[in-house]
Amino acid sequence: MHPYGSDRVRVREDGAILLSCRLPKPGWTERVPKTLTHAEHPGTAILWDDAYYEVVAIEVLANGVEYSLTPWSDAHIMRLTEAYDAASEAARAMDRRDILRRSKAHKTATLLGFLTGHLPAAVQQDLAHEIGINAVRLTEVSAIPELVPAIVCLNMIVGARIGNASAPRIPFVVLLLAGYMLLDGAIRFKYAWLNNRPMGSVFGLIGYGVYYLFAPREAKRVAPLASEKGWGIYEKEIDADVKLRDAVRMREPLFTLLSAREQQRIAERYDFDYRRHASAIAWVILVFALLGAATEFNALRHTGRTSALISMLTAGYLGSEQIYRLTILGTRPVGSAIGYLVRPFLRRFL
């Protein structure tokens, strides 16, 4: 029987196999003996060199753990099975290293909470899932030091007033930065406290953005502006035909301002009927044109400026045009002079 790694094996006189290990093996449980109220439950079934063994007893020693194994009895049912080979031992070693790495990262992130709490919310949530930290507490801890600059500046100003001394010469940039940090810290702390969700800061966004740009592409990275897990917006993939139909529907009011020939061409290509919006658009333009003409007429009376005269004539023309269009729209489409302005935005539909 071949042990793996630093494990050692020996066989007792009664045939039991003693496997001495430096570290315990997760998933290996010992036999539960029969009592007056519980039936006997066999230990974990261990597949070792093409044979199954039962974990009868587990003894914790000063320098490791010792497992007592016996050949599996056919009278028992295998409930828990584990493999003992090179691959399984390598996987256990990898799991232990991963646990140590997560534990170290957890301590580091907690000690540097006044910095890691400034990271974007999605990054803090990713750290919470990865190493088991409390992202909300990180935000709250990082928000407290942001109050210090404002408190120091306020203490200097108040101290100078009380001591009848000249006001301290604090640069305006420092006061502005202190005020911003005070506001930012208060908002972030309140948000995390009331919503139980983390919140980053501009400083953390800039710092993490630099790291995101220069970090190796194969490294696990979260986009700086990514949404938190469970809080993103689901975007359904839309077919090209649906996008085109929606684009046409959104531009139908503008189509009514094009020439009659262009409206006819659009109607032949798409599901467009000028009667749906033409009258409403004409009434809106008419109302605003009349208001504009009245306003410019009043300005012309008081100032006599040429610009007011031109504006009044333009508004009057548009109003007259809409009255003409409204008398004809019931029978056929009619364009408008405004069509020359909207045509560049509708060229791909013509």
Residue 133 predicted with pLDDT over 70: yes
- The whole-chain average pLDDT of the chain stands at 88
Whole-angstrom Cα distance, residue 58 to residue 16? Answer: 13
Q: What is the pLDDT of residue 232?
A: 67
pLDDT, greater one: 292 or 235 = 292
Q: What is the pLDDT of residue 248?
A: 85
Residue 180 predicted with pLDDT over 90: yes
Q: 194: pLDDT confidence band, cut at 50, 70 and 90?
A: very high
Q: 69: pLDDT confidence band, cut at 50, 70 and 90?
A: very high
- Flag the least confident range among 16-20, 113-117, 182-186, 222-226: 222-226
Asked if 120 contacts 188 with a C-beta cutoff of 8 angstroms, the reply is no
Taking only Cα atoms into account, the Rg of the chain, rounded to an integer number of angstroms, comes to 39
Paired with 66 in beta bridges are 20, 59
Q: DSSP for 56-116, please give it.
A: EEEEEETTEEEEEEEEPPTTS---SEEE-SHHHHHHHHHHHHHHHHHHHHHHHHHHTHHHH
Whole-angstrom Cα distance, residue 169 to residue 171? Answer: 6
Q: What is the pLDDT of residue 303?
A: 83
In the structure encoding, which two tokens stand for residue 334, read together? Answer: 């009619």
Distances in whole angstroms, Cα of residue 183 to Cα of each of 179, 192, 225, 333: 6, 14, 22, 57
For the chain, the residue count is 350
19-60: per-residue pLDDT in tens?
999 989 988 999 988 888 888 889 999 999 889 999 999 999
Q: What is the pLDDT of residue 339?
A: 87
243-266: per-residue pLDDT in tens?
888 888 888 889 888 888 998 988
Residue 273 predicted with pLDDT over 90: no
Q: What is the pLDDT of residue 234?
A: 67
How confident is the model over 309-322, as a mean pLDDT? 90
Q: 219: pLDDT confidence band, cut at 50, 70 and 90?
A: low
Q: DSSP for 5-17, please give it.
A: TT-EEEE-TTS-E
Q: 215: pLDDT confidence band, cut at 50, 70 and 90?
A: confident
How confident is the model over 75-82, as a mean pLDDT? 86
Asked if 199 contacts 188 with a C-beta cutoff of 8 angstroms, the reply is yes
pTM over the 0.85 mark = no
pLDDT, greater one: 221 or 16 = 16
Q: What is the pLDDT of residue 101?
A: 87
Residue 13 predicted with pLDDT over 90: no
How confident is the model over 82-109, as a mean pLDDT? 89
In the structure encoding, which two tokens stand for residue 194, read together? Answer: 């009331």
